[in-house]
Amino acid sequence: MADLEFEDRIDRMFAQAPTFGDADLFALRLDERLNRGWTARRMLIGGLGLAGGLVGGAQVIGSGVISRFDEISAQSGRLLTQRLSEVAPFDLLPVGFAVDGQILWMSAALAAVAIGFAVARAVREI
């Protein structure tokens, strides 16, 4: 028998793979290992995210950014109220209407949430 012919035969014999009776169990075990890997990864990412958030939060509070934020909010609110009173007729605005800094940022946050929902919905539809 020629060597090449024999090598082809060995190739074919190696290719004749058996199917083990526990093939499904093997696949299940592998899936469990994949799950364990993902769980560990999620916990690691979550833990690192939490630690990073706490450190970042502490830095933000320590830097006095909140007082500056309040100041900017108040200035923005005053400016917006002033502009609105210039362009809108007095009888259209509610009595005592004034754009508070908190209202301004809350509106912005709600708008951001609404945009987030819209984007998530669009992605799901696509």
Partner 1 sequence: MPDGGMPMGETTASRAAAHDLDLVALAAGGGREAFGELVRRHGSAVRSLVRRMGAQPALADDIAQDAFLAAFERIAEFRGEGTFQAWVKRIAARLYAKRWRREAIARRAAEALEADDDPRVTQSGVAARIDLDQALASLGALERLCVSLCYGAGLSHSDAAEALGLPLGTVKSHVKRGLDKLKARLAPAQTVRDAEEANG
CA dist 27 and 34 (Å) reads 11
Mind giving me the DSSP string for 48-110?
A: HHHHHHHHHHHHHHHTTHHHHHHHHHHHHHHHHHHHHHHHS-TTTSPTT----HHHHHHHHHH
The answer to whether 91 contacts partner 1 (rule: CB under 8 A) is no
User: Which of 6/69 has CB closer to partner 1?
Assistant: 6
Cα–chain center distance at 44 = 16
Site stretch for partner 1 (CB under 8 A), options 17-25, 62-70, 102-110, 113-121: 17-25
The answer to whether 125 contacts partner 1 (rule: CB under 8 A) is no
Is residue 101 within 8 A of residue 70, CB to CB? The reply is yes
The answer to whether 31 contacts partner 1 (rule: CB under 8 A) is yes
The answer to whether 123 contacts partner 1 (rule: CB under 8 A) is no
Structure tokens at 6: 């024999």
Site stretch for partner 1 (CB under 8 A), options 20-28, 51-59, 79-87, 107-115: 20-28
Contacts with partner 1 by CB under 8 A lie at: 1, 3, 6-7, 9-11, 13-14, 16-24, 26-27, 29-31, 33-34, 37
